Amino acid sequence: MLFSWLCSNYQLKNVAVAQRNATAIWLMALTCLLITAFILPEAKAQQTSSATVNVRIEGVSGRAATNVRNRLQIYTYHQQNAPGTSRLRYLHDMAFRDIRNALSPYGFYQVQVESSLELVDGVWQAHYQITPGTPINIASVSIAIIGEGEQDQAFNNLIQRLAVRRGARLQHADYENAKSRLRTLAAERGYYQSRFVKQELRIDLNAYEAHVILELDTGPRYRFGEIRITDNHLDRDVMLRFIGFQEGDYVSSNELLMLQLGLSDSDYFSRVEVQPLWREADDEFRVPVEIEYEPILRTHYQTGIGYGTDTGPRLRFDLNRRWVNTRGHRFNSQVQISEILSSVGGSYIIPGRRPQTDQYAIRTLWTDEDTGNTRSERLSVGVTWQTQLTRTQRILALDWLTERDRLEGVRRDSEFLLPSAQWSRVHTENRFNVNDGFRLALSVRGASDALFSDTDFGQATLEGKIVYRLADRWRILSRAEAGTSISGDFDKVPTSLRFYTGGDNSVRGYAYRSIGPRDDLNAIKGARHLLVGSAEIDYEFRANWRIAAFIDSGNAFDDISEPMKTGAGFGVRWQSPIGPVRIDLAHAFSRPGDKIRLHLTIGPDL
């Protein structure tokens, strides 16, 4: 009995110990499981989330490399915190597809990529070594024009100039550009219903060649129909003179655009809309054109107070009667008062055959000028005819000039009847903020003692300026001016018809009109000839602000052997809403210049 009880008690104790051991084992296993499931992943996630991504791409350059960076999804995390590991590896796996899609528009269809993704010292290093392979060439090009435009030579001329041609390297941009230019030409020439019935870019990877197939159905060519003009403050026949096309002419979007611009810039209207009414086209494909407009405020007054280093302080008042009557006549008047130059003038303007560019004017101007070197008072009355010759503006004028001046201490009175002609051309995309462009002007004028003039006189002046964009923020500006005069008796030529130089827009470092021959009283008397040149370079150091360095040289002379006067310096330019504002400090290298002279000018570069 005792033995049985001891054995039983021993077994119970062993079972209890076993149960306690089993419980401990289960607790240890559960702890390990919790560590594995929660703590380790969290630590790993913290390590991954603190990592950054560095993407290195090799083997491509230029626009192709830029497109790879734009299309490569993993590159969006370049130098940024890494996403989750699974997301990052997914983007890495997609890299080959991204790179292939980025390079195919440049003709690369045999792209090979060696890639790797490693976590090194807390940075995910993604490396892509790209071998683009040989670019694919265009084996054949088929561009067909069907419809009414099939016989239009303009399409054939355009097709000959397209970059998509047999044997050329395939560039998807060239293919898209070809389609765009064909559509644009169709719209420009009145093919309103034009559409591509076939547009295919076939890539044969086996033969490794490309085939371009385009077929444009132009449909019918539309013509201008009835021209509908809103009744308002100008007569219909005056409005019709703005229009460069007639009813029955083929529709041209360029003509419509030029009409819109011409009306908008004419200063007759506050609002203008020119639109073809395509939905009202008739069975003969004639489309009406509607012109709606509202008159601008009839009278415009403007006053201003300013300062120029050539003119000193000045006060100006302008009155502009934008239309005097229903014929579109105008009247302009100006009054200016300044320390050096005061004037009163007016013009009565009559629109010509093309009011946008052609006009006749009757003008008068009284001027009182005292530069310190010369003093004159003059009155001129004349007529002008301004017209546009393709890209050149021409102004023909006839003026009667009476002038009173003082030369070599003697007061003189002179009268001249002066016919003149001027041709000018300005070429730039933006006149108020010029990056590239040029200006040329030629003017001639003369007089004869047989026609109400004191002496025979002839004069010609040629001037030009060029602006060239040297680099992204750099420009070079250069200008030149040359003039010459002939006269039977130059002593009878008034001071206003003689040449002078020096000042803001001439040779900087010298006072306004301070360079030229002098009389016995050391006063500037004006010269027969003129020669001026300038070179300038400027740099845009921030938006709308530039610094500049310049050198000017020139002279007004009677004898070509007289030395040139030179000035140089630096300045600041501000691109204001009304045009460039220039502040220059210039040093003159010869008399009668200044060691340091300030020049302030406002106005366009061309």
**Confidence class for position 472, pLDDT limits 50, 70, 90:** confident
Note whether 351 and 359 are within 8 A (CB).
yes
Given this model, what pLDDT does residue 6 score? Answer: 33
Given this model, what pLDDT does residue 86 score? Answer: 92
The tokens for 596 are: 């340091």
Does the pLDDT value for residue 229 go beyond 90?
yes
Given this model, what pLDDT does residue 27 score? Answer: 52
Does the pLDDT value for residue 411 go beyond 50?
yes
pLDDT of 30-87, one tens digit each? 544 444 444 444 444 444 457 899 999 999 999 999 999 999 999 999 999 999 899 9
Segment among 193-197, 429-433, 451-455, 594-598 with least mean pLDDT: 429-433
DSSP one-letter string for 420-483: EEEEEEEEES-TTS-SSEEEEEEEEEEE-TTTT-SS-EEEEEEEEEEEEE-SSSEEEEEEEEEE
Does the pLDDT value for residue 518 go beyond 70?
yes
Task: Please report, for residues 19, 80, 179, 418, 602, the alpha-carbon distance to residue 485 in angstroms, rounded to integers and kept in the order given.
Answer: 127, 72, 57, 14, 30
pLDDT of 453-469, one tens digit each? 999 999 999 999 999 99
Distance, in Å, from the CA atom of 321 to the CA atom of 319, rounded to the nearest integer, reads 7
Note whether 222 and 281 are within 8 A (CB).
yes
pTM of the model: 0.74
Q: What percent of the chain has pLDDT over 90?
A: 74
Q: Classify strands 195-204 and 138-146 as parallel, antiparallel or unpaired.
A: unpaired
Nearest CA among 367, 351, 347 for reference residue 359: 351
For the chain, list the domains and their CATH numbers: 52-131 (3.10.20.310), 138-217 (3.10.20.310), 223-295 (3.10.20.310), 352-602 (2.40.160.50)
Mean pLDDT of 134-144: 94
Given this model, what pLDDT does residue 429 score? Answer: 85
The tokens for 574 are: 């501000």
Note whether 63 and 97 are within 8 A (CB).
no
Mean pLDDT of 159-182: 93
More confident residue, 286 or 22: 286
Nearest CA among 90, 222, 76 for reference residue 147: 222
